[in-house]
Amino acid sequence: MRVSHLNPELIYPEISSYKIVDVRRPEEFTGELGHIENSELITMDQALAGKLEKFDKQQKILFVCRSGARSGRVTEYAMTLGFQDVHNMAGGMVRWNELKYPTRK
């Protein structure tokens, strides 16, 4: 299984076409780096599988974290659950902020 890592520069122009799932902790979501507008916070814990299973497996989903490591693991996990169109945001919110793209806090 090969995880799709997409750079924010490619994602930004079409960000509204993705369901955005942020897998960081709540204090990171509202902290210094903020989060992408309309993203949904689903932390990496035992409840993750149950929450993902409620999503449409054909839906286009972008997983986001601080740097792209945790969201990469979740993207791979989602693929094992049968999700077809899931992607990891390379560089995470660190890169998103470097590019000065809009965030919410």
pLDDT in tens, 10-65: 999 999 999 999 999 999 999 999 999 999 999 988 788 899 989 999 999 999 99
pLDDT of amino acid 62: 98
Q: Where are the domains of the chain?
A: 5-98
- Between CA 48 and CA 44 the distance in angstroms is 6
Reported residue count of the chain is 105
pLDDT of amino acid 54: 92
pLDDT of amino acid 45: 84
pTM (predicted TM-score): 0.96
The identity of residue 40, as a single letter, is E
Let me know if domain 5-98 sits in CATH 3.40.1790.10: no
